[in-house]
Chain A
Amino acid sequence: MTERHYSMPITTHFQKLIKSFPMDEQALIHDAQTGNLDAFNTLILHYQDSVYNTALRILGDEDQAADATQEAFISAFKSISSFRGGSFKAWLMRTVTNACYDELRRQKRRPTTPLEPDTDDGEEMDSPRWLADPGMTPDQKAEADELEHALQHCLNNLPLEFKSVVVMADIQGMDYSEVAIAVRVPLGTIKSRLARARLRLRECLQGFSELLPTSFRLEEGSNV
Chain B
Amino acid sequence: MNQRDLELLSSYLDGQLKPSDSARLEKRLASDPALRAVLDDLRSARGLLRQLPMRKAPRNFTLTPKMVGKNPPLPRSYPAFRFVTALASLMLFFTLGLNFVVPQMAQTPAFGMGGSGGGAPEVFSASEAPAVPEFAATEEPVTQEPSILMQPAPTETVAPAADSAREVETPSEKQGVTNSADLPAETTAQTPPEPPVPPVWQIVLAAIALLGALAMVMMRQAAASRWRRK
Binding site for B on A (CB under 8 A): 11, 15, 35, 37, 40-41, 44-45, 48-49, 51-53, 56-57, 62, 66, 69-70, 73-74, 77-78, 147-148, 151, 166, 169-171, 173, 176, 191-192, 194-196, 198-199, 201-202, 205, 212, 216-219, 222-224
Contact = CB atoms under 8 A, between A and B. Distances in A.
A66 B56 CA distance: 11
B7 to A, nearest CB: 4
A41 B42 CA distance: 38
A11 B57 CA distance: 13
Interface in B6-37: 6-7, 9-11, 14, 16, 34, 37
A45 B63 CA distance: 10
A170 B37 CA distance: 20
B46 interface: yes
Nearest to B48: A216
A219 B6 CA distance: 16
Given A171-B52, A218-B44, A222-B41, A37 B58 contact: no
Nearest to A75: B68
Given A62-B58, A192-B7, A224-B41, 10 more contacts: A37-B64, A41-B63, A48-B57, A69-B61, A70-B61, A77-B63, A176-B14, A196-B6, A216-B44, A224-B38
A224 B61 contact: no
B49 interface: yes
Contacts of B45: 198-199, 201-202, 205, 218
A170 B49 contact: yes
B3 interface: yes
B64 to A, nearest CB: 8
Contact of B6 (A15, A49, A56, A224): A224
Contact of B65 (A37, A45, A218): A37
Interface of B: 1, 3, 6-7, 9-11, 14, 16, 34, 37-38, 40-42, 44-65, 67-68, 70
Given A147-B48, A218-B44, A223 B37 contact: yes
A151 B16 contact: no
Contacts of B9: 195
17 contacts: A37-B65, A41-B62, A44-B60, A45-B62, A48-B60, A52-B57, A52-B58, A74-B63, A74-B67, A77-B63, A170-B49, A194-B14, A195-B42, A196-B6, A201-B48, A212-B48, A223-B34
A191 B10 CA distance: 8
A194 B11 CA distance: 9
B57 A69 contact: yes
Contacts of B3: 192, 195-196
Contacts of A52: 55, 57-58, 61
Contacts of B58: 52, 62, 66
A56 B2 CA distance: 32
Contact of A176 (B16, B37, B54, B62): B16
A202 B41 contact: yes
Contacts of A202: 41-42, 44-45
Contacts of A171: 49-50, 52
Given A48-B57, A74-B68, A176-B14, A218 B41 contact: yes
A199 B63 contact: no
Nearest to B41: A202
B63 A57 contact: no
Contacts of B7: 191-192, 195
A44 B10 contact: no
Contacts of A216: 44, 47-48, 51
A219 B51 CA distance: 19
Contacts of A147: 48, 51
Nearest to A167: B49
Contacts of A40: 63
Given A196-B6, A223-B38, A45 B60 contact: yes
Contacts of A192: 3, 7
Contacts of B16: 176, 191
